[in-house]
A and B are shown apart, each in its own frame.
Chain A
């Protein structure tokens, strides 16, 4: 799969996977896919496949981490060993710690933590297949899972990256563009445009950076519409049999 630096990323204005420079990869969002979690979301963004689960608000363990005036938010990003080309050793590494930290900080600003003092909201993201942009996919899934868990939020968070290949700013770079391109800049933001995550690596002029930010923001806006649509889809279904059944069995237990 190794390629040299002179590979051409753009042909007749189209990218290697046939996208226009300002086009997202296909996105699929499923809400409420796990039974044990309080909220969950499965999300595909191109060849990325991620699963997010939210637990809480629940009791904090270890106790000393609890805050008297608000809930704490924890975020754990984890890659499955089989999610990447060469098997990854299981467990956290330095990269996943960093991704967890910035992802938590991307979501925490919109969570109404003051409603739940002395508790914790746990967000878990498992990357099942990775293809550049797993942190943005993870944040998008986590935001939907938080909403599915009924956690009060000021707004949703949507995340998207901009990249630079062949001197051109592109939206939502895929693996080859990320590995052999000139820059990668993931962002996360609220629908009103407040930015909660910003990272960049590579080489951009100030003008390119500003253009990239605009491109990534447009990506976020499109993703926000998809997140909203997925949630509406999930909760507009009338007579949700599964939940009725759960309610029944809970009642059954109470009767005895």
Chain B
């Protein structure tokens, strides 16, 4: 495939830049592309967000419906996260059942929300053991120009923060805002040629050896991590990425999500 040839040339080009401490976009190694966040974009959803991270575009819709709880957690609401890597978003995505990449993405978004205990799931119980609110988080990638992980995660929490539980529609009392307690933010760095850079674009991703996503909470703790890509990462890099992730997480949280 010609794509492979091009990526070898690109790899060479990017590698030469890396040696000089530069990126194609002129960004510094820990600099994010411009972020724009719009919420309540889909009226049919109970919460929604459109995230633009540079040219990357991700839409997240939240739907909340009553349903049965899991037998082992009869008193808590349920979170179900799903990601659609539709072929509209990239020449590399194909129609069909979710790929392992799509499943990893959905699970990571889910992990951030779940492990930060962001949603007060006890408050989403309607009748213990019988009826609870089920929160569906659906991530729809529209344009994959790199780092859909961070964009999806940002879109998910933004959509949840603006979501309303549609109780009236089901004759279950008054509508109320979805109880969100913490704001997890995911930041991803990719490693290439012995250096790492945050918020990789699609070129950087296509040549990268490996990447690390770190999800941090409001109090600066870590609630989820994932290394992805078949290559090793040094402990030194991991330490430094985690430190920067926490700072970047704070910045993004303050700028876009703090109420």
Partner-B contacts on A (CB < 8 A): 34-37, 47, 49, 51-53, 55, 58-59, 76, 78, 80-87, 90-92, 122, 124-126, 128-131, 249, 252-253, 256
Contacts and interface: CB of A to CB of B under 8 A. Distances in A.
For A47, A87, A92, the residue with the greatest tally of chain B CB atoms inside 10 Å of its CB is A87
Interface string B113-154: 000000000000000000000001010101111000000000
A84 B44 CA distance: 6
B63 A82 contact: yes
B89 A36 contact: yes
A76 B86 CA distance: 10
A59 B4 CA distance: 14
Given A35-B145, A51-B142, A253-B13, A82 B88 contact: no
Given A58-B91, A90-B84, A252-B13, A47 B143 contact: no
Interface of B: 1, 6, 9-10, 12-13, 16, 24, 42-45, 48, 55, 57, 59, 61-63, 65, 82, 84, 86-91, 95, 97, 136, 138, 140, 142-145, 202
Contact of A126 (B86, B91, B136): B86
B88 A34 contact: yes
A96 B132 CA distance: 31
B44 A82 contact: yes
B65 A124 contact: no
A215 B152 CA distance: 43
B121 to A, nearest CB: 19
A34 B48 contact: no
Given A76-B95, A128-B42, A129-B42, A36 B136 contact: no
Given A83-B61, A128-B140, 8 more contacts: A55-B91, A80-B59, A82-B45, A82-B62, A87-B138, A126-B86, A131-B44, A256-B16
A131 B59 CA distance: 18
A124 B91 CA distance: 11
Nearest to B94: A61
A47 B42 CA distance: 9
Contacts of A84: 44
Given A128-B42, A128-B59, A129-B43, A36 B65 contact: no
A80 B55 contact: no
A172 to B, nearest CB: 19
A85 B88 contact: no
B143 A129 contact: no
Contacts of B48: 82
A81 B86 contact: no
Contacts of A130: 44
A63 to B, nearest CB: 13
A244 to B, nearest CB: 15
Q: Which 10 A-B pairs have the closest CB atoms?
A: A82-B61, A124-B88, A82-B45, A87-B63, A53-B88, A81-B138, A35-B55, A34-B143, A256-B13, A36-B90
A49 B65 contact: no
Nearest to A89: B82
Nearest to B84: A90
For A90, A91, A122, the residue with the greatest tally of chain B CB atoms inside 10 Å of its CB is A90
A90 B142 contact: no
B143 A80 contact: no
Contacts of B12: 256
Nearest to B16: A256
B148 to A, nearest CB: 11
Nearest to A35: B55
Contact of A87 (B6, B65, B86, B90): B65
24 contacts: A36-B89, A36-B144, A49-B42, A51-B142, A52-B88, A55-B87, A55-B91, A59-B1, A81-B63, A81-B136, A82-B136, A83-B61, A85-B44, A87-B65, A87-B136, A87-B138, A124-B87, A125-B88, A126-B86, A126-B140, A129-B44, A130-B44, A253-B6, A253-B10
